[in-house]
């Protein structure tokens, strides 16, 4: 869910009340959030298995890193996305601490080493956002609402030459997944190639086409005779 709450007698909070450029910025990130819906849904699935929240402090993922013990203006979304919002009015740059590993700037693809602090531009229309190198993210369509109809296609973005990811799918409306009515897809990328496997088929509809976006090319898979075949 995504809501902005207010109380009776207070200032209205609808996006259009604030005019431009706020309205366009709001629209930009609403559209981006729809792109992330499949990833968020996967994280909810993982939460049912591990108990770990979707939005979490860095210390939850990097408990041995003393640099994150008192860090309270950055957060993780799952294990693969780091967000560093501006929390001071008028600030247009900010320091961002990146934990171990390597991190890719979501907006420009620049790679940064981990266990270091970098200074990033943060104008009013840009949320500093980083993706863990080696991550594979399901990438939803640019839509205006979540459809009740099952998607027939899915795209996975690979943020390195290699990586692996498990993607979850169910009907999104009831508790039948508790009876095993869900699908699991395993996506692997290595040495410029990709593989897609339907690991579990408990939910009827499947993606008819899956696109894996490698750093230098796209690989398209078609569902045929119970498996995914590169087109």
pLDDT in tens, 144-163: 888 878 899 999 999 998 99
Whether 70 has a pLDDT exceeding 80, the answer reads yes
User: Which pTM was predicted?
Assistant: 0.93
Arithmetic mean of pLDDT over the chain:
95
User: Comparing C-alpha atoms, which of 86, 78, 4, 85 is closest to residue 44?
Assistant: 78
Handedness of CA 55, 64, 48, 157 (dihedral sign): positive
CA angle 108, 109, 112 (to 5 degrees): 110
At 139, the pLDDT band (50, 70, 90 cuts) reads very high
Calculated CA dihedral for residues 157, 161, 166, 170, nearest 10 degrees: 20
Whether 1 has a pLDDT exceeding 80, the answer reads no
Domains delineated in the chain: 52-132 (2.60.40.1180), 136-230 (2.60.40.1180)
Pull the structure tokens for residue 195: 């593989």
Question: 178: helix, coil or strand?
Answer: helix
Q: What pLDDT is attached to residue 47?
A: 97
Whether 3 has a pLDDT exceeding 80, the answer reads no
Q: Percent of the chain scored above 90 by pLDDT? A: 87
Q: What pLDDT is attached to residue 144?
A: 82
Give yes or no for a contact between 169 and 182, defined as CB atoms under 8 angstroms apart.
Answer: yes
Distance of CA 103 to the CA centre of its chain: 14
- Measured CA to CA in angstroms, residue 58 lies from 63, 85, 91 at distances of 8, 14, 22
Burial label for 100, CB within 10 Å (0-12, 13-18, 19+), is middle
Pull the structure tokens for residue 23: 């309205």
At 80, the pLDDT band (50, 70, 90 cuts) reads very high
């Amino acid at each position: 869910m995504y809501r902005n709450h207010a109380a009776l007698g207070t200032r209205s909070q609808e996006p259009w009340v604030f005019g431009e450029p706020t309205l366009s910025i709001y629209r930009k990130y609403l559209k981006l959030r729809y792109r992330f819906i499949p990833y968020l849904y996967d994280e909810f699935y993982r939460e049912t298995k591990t108990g770990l929240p979707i939005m979490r402090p860095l210390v939850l993922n990097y408990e041995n890193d003393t640099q994150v013990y008192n860090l309270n203006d950055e957060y993780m979304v799952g294990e693969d996305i780091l967000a560093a919002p501006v929390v001071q009015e008028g600030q247009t740059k900010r320091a961002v601490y990146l934990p171990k590993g390597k991190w890719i700037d979501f907006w420009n693809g620049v790679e940064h080493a981990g266990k270091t602090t970098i200074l990033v531009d943060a104008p009013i229309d840009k949320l500093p956002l980083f993706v863990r190198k080696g991550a594979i993210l399901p990438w939803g369509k640019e839509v205006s609402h979540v459809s009740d109809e099952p998607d027939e296609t899915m795209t996975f973005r690979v943020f390195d030459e290699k990586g692996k990811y498990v993607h979850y799918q169910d009907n999104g409306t009831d508790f039948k997944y508790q009876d095993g009515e869900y699908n699991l897809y395993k996506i692997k990328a290595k040495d410029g190639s990709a593989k897609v496997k339907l690991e579990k088929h408990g939910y009827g509809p499947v993606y008819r086409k899956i696109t894996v976006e490698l750093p230098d090319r796209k690989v398209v898979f078609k569902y045929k005779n119970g498996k995914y075949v590169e087109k």
